[in-house]
Structure 1
Amino acid sequence: MATNKERIENLEASLGDLQTNLNRMELGVGDKLLQLEAAICKMSDILTTRQEATSGNTNEYSRQSFNGRAHDHTESKPPMFSSKLARLEFPKYSGDDPTEWFTRVDQFFEYQGTLETQKVSLASFHLEGEANQWWQWLRRAYHEEGKEVTWSIFTEELWSRFGPTDCENFDESLSKIRQAGSLRDYQKEFERLGNRVQGWTQKALVGTFMGGLKAEIADGIRMFKPKTLKEAISLARMRDEQLTRQRKITKPLNKFMADTQSPTKPKAVIPMKRLTWEEMQQKRAQGLCFNCDEKFTVGHKCRGPQLLLLEGSNKESDDEEITASMEPQHEISLHALTGWSPHKTMRVMAKIGSRAVVVLIDSGSTHNFISTKMATMLQLPVLPTKAFDVKVANGKPLKCQGRFENVSIDLQGIPFVLTLYALPLMGLDLVLGVSWLEQLGTVLCNWKTLTMEFQWNNHTQKLQGIGAQTIQAVSMKAITKEGRQRGSIFAISFQPDLDSTKQHLNPTMQQLLEKFEDVFQEPTQLPPTREVDHHINLKEGIEPINVRPYKYAYFQKAEIEKQVQDMLKLGLIRPSTSPFSSPVLLVKKKDGSW
């Protein structure tokens, strides 16, 4: 059985034979057409000679095309242009941009060998609409003055009437061209402007084309350093197709991620049912559910969805039926997030596997939480869950998207298997909340000695907490060590009042500073034009200096991009398409800025 490579080679050989046969057929047809053209020209010369011998009048030219049929010898006229191998149609013009039309007309005249005296008649015959009205007016105006419209006059008048104005500077437009839409539209506009400029070198065209591309395309082909415009366009098209394929691959994935993270889509509109206060009291007395007419019990679920509107009063009522059907609200105390241990909380040491962790036992948190950093270090298998908000005491909700089930924890020799939720905790690895405390039953706590006693597996267990945290003075070495590990450092700085500083300045110095206040202002635009502009003279024949940029760390790269964007917004710099380039050197100052 032939392989794919052999099949492709056989197919290429067959296509080569087919191409050879087609070339032979084309040569044969061309010879036949040449013979037919010679016969037609010979017949036309004979008919012209006979007509001149029998008539003394001047021949009047008329437009007619040869269709291969017999001519009427009494009405035979010399052809306007000689027939060629292929049948060409003269382009029509109705008044739009004449650039393309003149190009096609010149090609037609060159191919057919049209005489100068016949060009105006042939071109004017194919004018339509607004262009035809203009031609009628132009011909009458020149006829009244007794002048003849030559081809040069015709082209000049048509360019003046329908051509673009001289206000557009094509060199300037080409140097400022930028890709805003698709690559095809950008290439089309670049070629249109490139056909209207002169004196541009191939290197300048390549640099301009590369500078106008989108960054995602230009960055991918700049490493190949194209030498010609054809090579640059080919590389840009390949890069554009590659990005298009990548978007098609990532689009379904992004859609899937958006569907998994987006809230549940709203269901169809449900008819609203109103319940008055009397109806609520009646259903409560009968033990019926507010939503349906079935008997209400703990864990009761209605069969179908309904929308209820309760018209209540200010009277206090027992809302056990309402709260029983509501989902529990996830909460975490503020000190659990920051890692600080206030009163009625206890920190103990535990182990997850072989790693020691710091656990905060907090009755102000509803569930058990683990820090995102610790979960990543332990490589715990995460279960995808619908994102939900965790309520914090400061009112700012936190998003929780990860759940870890059946996590084994050794709490000072006592094994537990818990369900944990990931949150960005600071200074803590684990928070055990009410969901864990409920499993212990009766707990005896001694806050003075930081101990907890409870019954677990029919044995009395005891947990010993870590000593209380106190604020104390530390050395710079200790702060540095804590910061290198996982501690959080906060600094409070005092800034002097500038107004009070100015008051202590010498009056003479103060007047001098106010007089030249504009010198100390940060620039917001390009410097003004000076008598002598700075420039660097290069020796003849030296190529533009183009040094590749250095490899920067990610934070230096981000700082460079930020400063460039800030200077662009202020107008201190502007985009450049110059082939010259040099790397940027980023130096950090003593005050921490760049």
Structure 2
Amino acid sequence: MAPPNHSERIESLEDQVRSLLTALNARNTQEPFNDSASARQGFRSKEPEAFTGERGHLEPFLAQVNVFLRLNPGHFINDSNQILWFSTLLHGVAHQWFYPHCSAVNPPAWLADYSLFVNQLHIVFGDPDCIATAKQEIEVLSQATSVANYLTQFRWLQMTLNWDEDAMAWFFYRGLKENVKDDLSRSGKPTNLEALIQRSLEIDNRIAKWIAEKRRIITRLANPTLMPVSNPPIAPTVAHPSSPSALRIPLTTAGKLDPDEYKRRQAENLCIYSTQARTAKHRLTAFAPVDSQPPGNQYLSTSLCFLSHPSLPMHYVMIDSGATTNFIDSRFATLHSLPLTSKPLAETLLLADGKTQVINSKVVQLSCLVAELFPSDITFQVTDLDLCPIILGLPWLKGANPNIDWQSGNTTTQSPPLTPLQRAPSQLSSTSPPASLDIDVIDAIAFNKSLQLDCITWGTLYPSAIQSQHLLATTTTSSVATTALAYDTGLSDIIPPEYHQYLDVFSRVEADKLLPHRTYNHHIPLEEGKSPPFGPIYSLSEHELKTLWEYLEENLAKGFISPSDSPAASPILFVKKKDGSLRLCVDYRGLNRITIRNSYPLPLIDELLDRLHEARFFTCINLRGAYNLLRIAKGDEWKTAFHTRYGLFQYNVMPFGLTNAPASFQHLMNDTFKDMLDRSLIIYLDDLLIYSSTLKQHQGHVSAVLARLRQAGLYAKAEKCQFSTSQTEFLGFVVSDQGVSMDPSKTEVITNWPVPKSVHDVQVFLGFCNFYRKFIPQYSRTAYPLTQLLRKEAQSPPFAWNNEAQHAFEQCQGSRA
């Protein structure tokens, strides 16, 4: 008998599949054959989704299949039938792989053994090294949305890796959002993985609930519900702002008024919502909740920083002279894990409308800095506040006694009160100067710091010195000059008087101090199995060696670098600055090649400049030290090692040249100023541009930025700053109240640019043009003849510079000019 041909085998296989499906359908309508199936009589589980052969989707697909098989035991007589059913779920590439094996004369053994079949699927469509892939994924895994979504991805990798609990707990914590980490740190981070996961879920749910509640409040205030027409008009009533029911204003209306009735009420000064005369109490303003943005002029407010909780951002709070105590919202306190203390008895509040309300017996005491002028310990009564999370009442007003301008809403003071630590002793140990003196003239801020350090034993304040804000101080223990240098002399001449309270933000010495480790440490994750290279030592000239020695001496003294025994080492070289001096550069190309990239984005310059269209006043601030203000993460310092003829050293602060350095620094800046970005401030790495439409508003914006720099431990370079100007240079552009234009020096460079004589010359010219392409009308069309010269077929010698290219070159020059 002749063997069946190919088409006959296909028909036979299709008949078998049809018979199998018919038998399965018939079985579903019959009495189940065992007790477990009988318990599920009438239940029909959904079949798994189809598998198309895409690598990386096999494991989730097999998990669905296993669940289906466990819910439907006894459906298949043998492994062959189970595999045939399985084949109905294979589509696309997977089906194309499976089908030829079924029609083969000698089918493979795995077509009759389900476990062998699954192993074959792993060989063909599985990850060839799932452990390495999971390791790489968990290195970069981070919480993007909710903790629940993050946990789903984490659990899958945990199942693949099967690492011990301590390692998985470390990776889980590392990938959480910073606000969840902060809450865990304040409340005590669990060491057990499951407890850590549970606590993180609770914190994330609490934050989500708080955000949703704020949105509901905003929606309710933006869309007030009006009473039906049949209800009699009720005069608006106002609860006291400090009360828990503050500003819940019932508004009523008698429906839409006809035009004649509307004009009559306007003419007779009647309220359009009732028949009463319009009075001051009808002119009501609804307030939106605030926690990171300053309110308008609806009520008197000021800023508040939490000295006892420095990780919390600055908040804007309400000042209320009618409130008999200070209040804080209970949900705000819970969200930020503030330490609450119970009082023995509940208290009753008297509201502005004469009603009373019983509040809970919780209080919290916090060390705060109010209006950046008044440091004090404030006790808050915990209650439910709908609109403002914090209210400063009469107790704070009595203690701080601020000067309030009720027209402008500004809060000021003649001199900030000193804490006991800062106060000078009531009596001096000596009424005359010591015999041996070290005399230095210092400013008031440095003098105050010296008092705290107990290094001043005798001092005299001269009236003439008050005007220049300097004190003459003497010491026999240590020179005050060290302290005075922290607030560089001459700063008061550079910085406008309205910002003199922030002179320490421009301190060169403070910027040269080694900062402690914090949230934004720079990490250097390496690719799996890779190690930083050990590079050569480049030869240096005598002048370069002298500069190197000075660099090492200076930075070892600061603590920015330290001696190292690292197995890695990168070479160094020097490049010339514009002024002719030398800058040390470490060649980190070998390290950068094996570093996992940080995908944190840098802002687009064009988008930044688009925010300035209504601005009239500008202040440009350049940070001092910039990258050196970030620490290298503990355990990663050895990767930054560089070697010289004087030894091997490693960085404790983030140096220039690392591949992820810009992303780390931009992340720090964006998080530090997140509530100001695109409102009054744009930032590109260490360049800050503050913009405003009025001078008064601008001074407030600049003060807020300087205060935030101080709070974050960032320092500015006074000699590179410009204050309250109508025109400044920013990122190579000239920004003014007339708009954005090219830097004239760059225009001159373009105008005098020589005609390109090679493909490389064209590339350089187009690279420069591309940066300023927004100033060239129809840039793509204009530069097209030049870009054509970069095509492969046009690069073969000789270089052909034609009339079209010359015309395009001149058009680009003319547009820029």
Q: Do Structure 1 and Structure 2 share a fold, with TM-score over 0.5?
A: no
Q: Which of the pair has more CA radius of gyration?
A: 1
* TM-score class normalised by the smaller sequence: 0.3 to 0.5
